[in-house]
Structure 1
Amino acid sequence: MFLAPMVRPSPTMLTRTATRPTTYLTNLLQTCIDNKVHAAGKILHAYILRAGIFADTFLANRLVELYAKCDQVDSARKLFDKMPQRNIYSWHAMLSCYCKENQLDNAHELFDQMPERNSVSWNMMISALVRNGYERRALEFYWRMRWGGFELTHFTLASVLSACGSLGDIMYGKECHGVANKLGLDKNVFVGNALLGMYAKSGTIGDAVKAFGDLLEPNEVSFTQLMGGLVEADQIEEAFGMFKLMHRNGSRIDSVSLSTVLGVCARGGNGDIGATSGDDWDVHIVPGKQIHGLTLKLGFENDLHLSNSLLDMYAKNGDMDNAEILFASLSEVSVVSWNIMIGGYGQNNEKGRAMQYMEWMQSSGFEPDDVTYINLLVACVKCGDVGSAHRIFDIMTYQSLSSWNAILSGCAQNGYHREAVKLFREMQLQEVQLDRTTLAIILSSCAALGYLEGGRQVHAFSMKPAFHTDTYVASGLIGMYFKCRRMVDAKHVFTGVHQLDTVCWNSMLAGLSFNSMDGEAFTLFVQMLRMGILRTEFSYATILSCCAKLSSWSQGRQVHGLIMKDGYADDVFVGSALLDIYSKCGNVNDARKFFDLMPSKNTVSWNAMLDGYAQNGCGDEAVCLYKQMIQSDAKPDDITFVAVLTACSHSGLVDPGMSIFNSMHEEHGVEPLADHYTCIIDSLGRAGRFNELEKIIDKMPYKDDPIVWEVLLSSCRVHSNVGLARRAADELFRLDQNNSAPYVLLANMYASLGRWDDANDVRSMMTEQQVLKDPGYSWIEHENGDACLLG
């Protein structure tokens, strides 16, 4: 370590200085600058003043540099102001000092006062502005520099391209790329890496890969930037491939590249590193645990940033046991470390453990920050504890946009949509700057509430900052308008987005399906195919649902072929949708074969197969499948019981149906709903077991559900139970006097029993109430695959 006493001028030094003043003092000052020795530099400054050589501009410049290097900005400025003569290097020394200390206003003022400037002057300002997040101002300086005729260097273009990347301004970035080509600077490693970073950050990963290929000698920065870009583009395999190539090329693996590849591991990927000989690694898909081993091997175990990346990798993959072990072994922790642990437990639905870490964090002397509270908010939200989330939100000293979005999301996800709308209004009153996430969340709540006026207000607000053309917000607007039955408005939003992504197309498909516009949805899907739009599992699940509702087996088979081609056949939701269309089109045996081959099943899959049996009158098969479901530890829900009880009802399996109905609450904790009562009443009614049926009706809490009484009335007609039929009809008249079903069913029953006077009385009641019988329709599919509706 270089210490101040080592350069304290001695009498011998002063004698030498008298002989060779400038050269010797310059060397001493440079030593002080290199080693940031402020005290010794002040002694030299005093000697220069006493010796009367302060007028030497070169020495004065060195003194300004010294104070700048030692973070003595005020001293540097005082000295600069007292200089009898300044040259461009004097101005640069002071400008560099301001830029280094991020005093951009002072730097800008000094820059404007400079009597002359060169490329170095402009580069200093542009670099400082980019470094401090003033990218737009940096681009303005760049244009002023170009118009002024100053020479553009690799430092200029590297900074400007970095600004374009941060702004996501691909057009400006491409223009700078053209300038780099024209000046022959595109092969420069600094410019090349900046080009690569700009394309990667702007989401044009193809251009980023090309920029990487154009580099003559890519370094660790090149590999790391492209890895990061590939991760953001969800090209996980390719990102691992870059790490493999980096290792093979012998590029230096530093803590930044290791942090980046750990970010890849946190996003997904599993596999092995097969060590061959020595340090040669055959990297396939690099798993986080082996990167952890590489980190230790390279001696980075004490790098806090890298340790936090390792913690994050374990937490994101839900491996909190290894995260705990690593956290306990860290020689140093930061607020980031605590936040990762709290966030990890929050994401794993372990709210209690997250709260414990919050308490340990505070008892260890660390103050929670915005991220800490947001992670706790998420933990509460994931567990459905919106009340606790609200309390955490209320105690935050500064409620950032991220925290507002977290609490809004919690309300929306847990069905507290009115509360979400109320919070959104409060945000506006507090003039919180909203973003695309805020608008998407509140639009989902407006859609759930059918709150058209609120959705329109959000739409109007989104027009000002041009959020309405953002695909994320546009998708929310489309969903909201469709839920509110405003099909024209939804289509208008869709056609107004310049660059539609898969999410917007999926929102249109879902909206059309929701509004029973299934034919139009299929036409839109065909348009997706022709335009080469990426289909997702959601696209296929939605369009299969449309085919099922259309009972169009020919179209369903075509979609199934595309699913096989695109590799979504093993997706559990797509598989469930395929089961549904097989069953609705009467191919229940093929549906069961497909069900048995599914690699993974969830409750939705089981329900789809049960519903298929129910629709096709396969009651015994449905009961057997239900038992298999229970034995497989799959958790039945209310839809499961509707399906199996319907199957029992249609197949005359009264006793198995009663047994399953009675087990709902007692064994599975599912409270019977109106649909379940309808199924069991239909089952008992078909069997003529009216004594049991009346006991259930007397106890059921859904006496205002008309479907229950319609089902009972139909059963009474079959078994000529006039007394109970009259009770059911009276209940239906009470609920809706204009419903034609009870009049028709009751009149037909009287007619079948020869009670013509009673039948005429019912028809007279229909006439008096001006009730018209609803017409019936049938849906058929022609051989050519076209479907039509028959009256």
Structure 2
Amino acid sequence: MEGGTTRLANLLQGCIDKKAHLAGKLIHAFILRNKGLFFDTFLSNRLIELYSKCGNMGYAHHVFDKMPRPDVYSWNAILGCFCKAGSLRDAQELFLKMPERNTVSWNTLITALVRNGQEEKALGVYDAMVLEGLVPTHFTLASVFSACGALLAVEHGRRCHGLVIKIGLEENMYVGNALLCMYAKCGLIRDATQVFGDMAEPNEVTFTAMMGGLKQTDRVTEALEMFRLMCRKGVRIDSVSLSSMLGVCAKGCGEFGVYDHIDGIPSNVNGQQIHGLTVKLGFEGDLHLNNSLLDMYAKSADMNSAEKVFANIPVVSVVSWNVMITGYGLIYQSQKALEYLQRMQSCGFEPDEVTYINLLSACVKSGDIKSGRQMFDNISCPNVISWNAILSGYFQNEDYKEVIQLFREMQFRDVQPDRTTLAIALSSSAAMGILGAGREIHAASHKAAFDTDIYVASGLIGMYSKSGKIEMAKHIFHNMQELDVVCWNSMIVGLSLNSQDKEAFTYFKQMRQHEMHPTQFSYATVLSCCAKVASSFQGKQVHAQITKDGYMSDVFVGSALIGMYCKCGDVDGARNFFDMMPSKSTVSWNEMIHGYAQNGRGDEAVLLYWDMIASAERPDGITFVAVLTACSHSGLVDAGIKIFNSMDQEHGVEPVLDHYTCIIDSLGRAGRFQEAEVLLDEMPYKDDPVIWEILLSSCRVHANVSLAKRAADELIRLDPQNSAPYVLLANIYSSLGRWDEARAVRDLMSDKQVIKDPGYSWIEYEKGMQSGMGMITSC
């Protein structure tokens, strides 16, 4: 009988190896017919193993239940069966019922928990195993290191590392690779390198893990060197290591553009070399590797090469289509991405959530918010990343109302916002100036426990500041346990927005006292505060600090310095600094031209404008407002007309209201009303009161009654209850002695019940301020 049992056991082992389910069942039937064999524990264990391997849980459990004397191997076999089927709750219950457990029992459960993403439970089981005095094997430790890596549980991993050394498993390849992976995933490259260096014969798994860790910590060059070392040592290169290297190359490629900005070498040259090695080693048909190639080319913006790879893949997957869609999104070609969606569907592939998320991202980056919304609506249960993408799209489109509406919908769907969601929503609320919506978002951030997050707090400070609730902004600021430079900047900007510039400067000094290093934005903001209070003394202090901190060459800060000096009346100081700037932006030129205009030095403003044109710097709308203002205030009418006419013709800048206002003001001041009227008849801003008010003021100076009457009529048409046109027209008639017409205007004003606001005068004295009131008697 014993020899028969051995033969049956060998036959069952063959069935297990080949997953021969039917043959195994025939042997099982033979065993059942022989009563003596049925009670053999060894054969029953093999049967459980067979049914487990073939995925027949019912038969495995049935055999176990019928066993009269199950031993520890029987319990381990059925435990393994549950684990393999993914029935982890049943497996854990069975584990607790086991009358006896050995190392295999513990290993089986720990490994299953790790494979199913329950790493914390796995570590808990491991700790219990050690407490029971069992010595873990290399299988145990490999699973535990995997769990530590997934959880970034470095300290737990270090304790296990100590145990590895204690029990003498440090030279085990399986354990060494798992340990190295753990350190790499936790970003501890120095520790990973130490483990790598201690390994006698690192294999392809070792090198791949090391390259992955270097990639994760952005050490692309070192990862490439590691791959070269792998090649020099003659370590077998498999598709996994090649795929890992392509991931490294993708990370090393420039964000946009195929060529390196310095020497014109393709940014994906390393990836191209790996591609060549892939062909040489015969991996052209490997789908995962081909998808990695697509990803590398897509991230380097080389979609022509990606197209060639895609066309030659023997069998594509949904992942392949998704990578191509993402690639076109990265280069802002949403239409090509949408074309790939249509091709994908026509080839019989069903888009998944990732497809729509990638398309959403592509459309948002390309500014195609309409198509982006369609993609968003196709996602059945959008996650927070998808919500952030569509919110960002509407925010970039300045459709702040839709951002707030979508944010509310997100709340109704019970999707938890993150710091990015809240920041976009707060910025939208601030841009709209709707305090109620901002408070709703504040409440949502409190509910989601993000109100103390530095990133969100900065947005809250900005929102309340822009809504005029500066005290609330201060309250949030002072209740923060930790502050970063963004929070300080938000607070300083908020104070400046609310005309508390002196206090803003005080906060700037406190920021420095807290050893917080100001950024370019900090300096630009505080310089703006100095300019508004015309404090050149404080401005010079900030200038000295800028020099000390090494921001003198920053264009953004330099432009703010020019603006500060000009607004404080030190135009020559501003010009000296302007001339010393190593590089200038359009903003720098605009600030200097505007500074000359503000200080009545129109000739120099115009000369500087021509210098700007000669330097090939492209003027923008603000440039023309500055130089036309200078021409108007300095009587340079012909120069102003010439510059105005060149805007659209030579520089492609279409004149808007501010430009027409400047040129009408210039012509009016010079008394050239005929030209002003021609321009008035041609311009598209006839219904803007500012133009007519400027013209009416000029008519008063030059006593042009007919045009003054036209301007007053237009203003009365636009706003019948505005007293200004009545008063100005009546004053013009009175100054010319045309009393009847002046009286008629006053009567018209009385008939329409237009009330002239009283004029105020005030005087400051030691104990406060006193004001006097009196009606303007000229009307």
| TM-score exceeds 0.5 | yes
Are residue 691 (structure 1) and residue 679 (structure 2) matched?
A: no
- Structure 1 residues 671 and 33 mapped into 2: Cα distance closer, same or farther (>3 Å)? same
Alignment partner of 1:431: what SS? coil
| Contact 1:177-1:195 within 8 A present in 2 as well | no
Task: Name which of 334, 339, 342 aligns with 1:356.
Answer: 339
Structure-1 separation of matches of 2:178 and 2:660: 71
Alignment partner of 2:186: what SS? helix
| Contact 1:580-1:612 within 8 A present in 2 as well | yes
Q: Which amino acid aligns with 1:770?
A: P
Render the CA deviation track for 1:391-432: whole Å, top value 9, x for unaligned: 333344554444333322222221111122222222333333
Q: Which has the larger radius of gyration?
A: 2
Per the alignment, residue 235 of structure 1 pairs with none
Render the CA deviation track for 1:712-762: whole Å, top value 9, x for unaligned: 566556656677678878988999999999999999999999999x9xx99
Are residue 771 (structure 1) and residue 751 (structure 2) matched?
A: no
Per the alignment, residue 330 of structure 2 pairs with 347
Task: Name which of 285, 300, 303 aligns with 1:317.
Answer: 300
Per the alignment, residue 767 of structure 2 pairs with none
Per the alignment, residue 115 of structure 2 pairs with 131
Structure-1 separation of matches of 2:716 and 2:117: 70
Shift of 1:607: 4.6
Structure-2 separation of matches of 1:349 and 1:592: 37
Structure-2 separation of matches of 1:392 and 1:270: 27
Task: Name which of 181, 199, 222 aligns with 1:241.
Answer: 222
| Contact 2:246-2:271 within 8 A present in 1 as well | no
Shift of 1:355: 1.9
- Structure 1 residues 647 and 209 mapped into 2: Cα distance closer, same or farther (>3 Å)? farther
| Contact 2:416-2:448 within 8 A present in 1 as well | no
Shift of 1:140: 5.2
Are residue 445 (structure 1) and residue 428 (structure 2) matched?
A: yes
Q: Which amino acid aligns with 1:406?
A: A
Structure 2: runs of 5 or more not aligned? 200-205, 765-779
| Contact 2:242-2:274 within 8 A present in 1 as well | no
Are residue 643 (structure 1) and residue 626 (structure 2) matched?
A: yes
- Structure 1 residues 548 and 331 mapped into 2: Cα distance closer, same or farther (>3 Å)? farther
- Output the TM-score relative to the length of structure 2: 0.77
| Contact 2:442-2:460 within 8 A present in 1 as well | yes
- Structure 1 residues 141 and 471 mapped into 2: Cα distance closer, same or farther (>3 Å)? farther
Are residue 93 (structure 1) and residue 77 (structure 2) matched?
A: yes
Shift of 1:685: 3.0
| Contact 1:682-1:712 within 8 A present in 2 as well | yes
Task: Name which of 303, 306, 320 aligns with 1:337.
Answer: 320
Per the alignment, residue 290 of structure 1 pairs with 270
Alignment partner of 1:639: what SS? helix
How many equivalent pairs are there? 722
Root-mean-square deviation (Å): 4.8
Render the CA deviation track for 1:492-548: whole Å, top value 9, x for unaligned: 444555555555455445444544555555555556556665766655655565566
Render the CA deviation track for 1:26-45: whole Å, top value 9, x for unaligned: 44544444454444444444
Alignment partner of 1:597: what SS? coil
| Contact 1:162-1:198 within 8 A present in 2 as well | no
- Structure 1 residues 226 and 555 mapped into 2: Cα distance closer, same or farther (>3 Å)? farther
Per the alignment, residue 659 of structure 2 pairs with 676
Q: Which amino acid aligns with 1:177?
A: R
- Over the matched positions of the two proteins, sequence identity in percent amounts to 50
Structure-1 separation of matches of 2:343 and 2:43: 55
Are residue 430 (structure 1) and residue 413 (structure 2) matched?
A: yes
Structure-2 separation of matches of 1:498 and 1:557: 31
Per the alignment, residue 220 of structure 1 pairs with 207
Shift of 1:150: 5.9
Per the alignment, residue 557 of structure 1 pairs with 543
- Output the TM-score relative to the length of structure 1: 0.76
1:452-463 superposed matches below 5 A? 452-463=435-446
Are residue 193 (structure 1) and residue 193 (structure 2) matched?
A: no
Structure-1 separation of matches of 2:143 and 2:476: 38
Q: Which amino acid aligns with 1:104?
A: L
- Structure 1 residues 507 and 769 mapped into 2: Cα distance closer, same or farther (>3 Å)? closer
Name whichever of 217-226 and 743-752 sits farther off. Answer: 743-752
Structure-2 separation of matches of 1:99 and 1:117: 16
Q: Which amino acid aligns with 1:61?
A: N
- Structure 1 residues 221 and 322 mapped into 2: Cα distance closer, same or farther (>3 Å)? closer
Task: Name which of 390, 400, 403 aligns with 1:420.
Answer: 403
Alignment partner of 2:315: what SS? coil
Q: Which amino acid aligns with 1:432?
A: V
Alignment partner of 1:469: what SS? coil
| Contact 1:320-1:344 within 8 A present in 2 as well | yes
Alignment partner of 1:468: what SS? coil
1:376-387 superposed matches below 5 A? 376-387=359-370
Are residue 84 (structure 1) and residue 71 (structure 2) matched?
A: no
Are residue 405 (structure 1) and residue 388 (structure 2) matched?
A: yes
Per the alignment, residue 63 of structure 1 pairs with 47
Per the alignment, residue 262 of structure 1 pairs with 249
Per the alignment, residue 787 of structure 1 pairs with none
Are residue 113 (structure 1) and residue 97 (structure 2) matched?
A: yes
Shift of 1:447: 1.8
| Contact 2:176-2:195 within 8 A present in 1 as well | no
Shift of 1:135: 4.4
- Structure 1 residues 118 and 686 mapped into 2: Cα distance closer, same or farther (>3 Å)? farther
Render the CA deviation track for 1:583-637: whole Å, top value 9, x for unaligned: 6553454455456635xx5x656655654565564333344245447x66x5x54
- Structure 1 residues 541 and 230 mapped into 2: Cα distance closer, same or farther (>3 Å)? farther
Name whichever of 145-154 and 30-39 sits farther off. Answer: 145-154
- Structure 1 residues 580 and 770 mapped into 2: Cα distance closer, same or farther (>3 Å)? closer
1:441-590 superposed matches below 5 A? 441-498=424-481, 500-501=483-484, 503-518=486-501, 520-521=503-504, 524=507, 538=521, 542=525, 545=528, 552=536, 553-558=539-544, 560-561=546-547, 564=550, 569=553, 573=556, 577=560, 580=563, 586=571, 587-590=573-576
Structure-1 separation of matches of 2:266 and 2:57: 47
Render the CA deviation track for 1:61-106: whole Å, top value 9, x for unaligned: 3333333333333433333333333233323333333333433333
Q: Which amino acid aligns with 1:674?
A: L
Render the CA deviation track for 1:250-291: whole Å, top value 9, x for unaligned: 675613531431342256599999xxxxxxxxxxx9942322
| Contact 1:263-1:313 within 8 A present in 2 as well | yes
Render the CA deviation track for 1:473-500: whole Å, top value 9, x for unaligned: 3333233222223333334444555555
Shift of 1:454: 1.8
| Contact 2:180-2:210 within 8 A present in 1 as well | no
Q: Which amino acid aligns with 2:65?
A: D
Are residue 174 (structure 1) and residue 155 (structure 2) matched?
A: yes
Q: Which amino acid aligns with 1:561?
A: T
- Structure 1 residues 660 and 46 mapped into 2: Cα distance closer, same or farther (>3 Å)? farther
Structure-2 separation of matches of 1:681 and 1:350: 44
Per the alignment, residue 104 of structure 1 pairs with 88
Name whichever of 545-554 and 338-347 sits farther off. Answer: 545-554
Shift of 1:459: 1.9
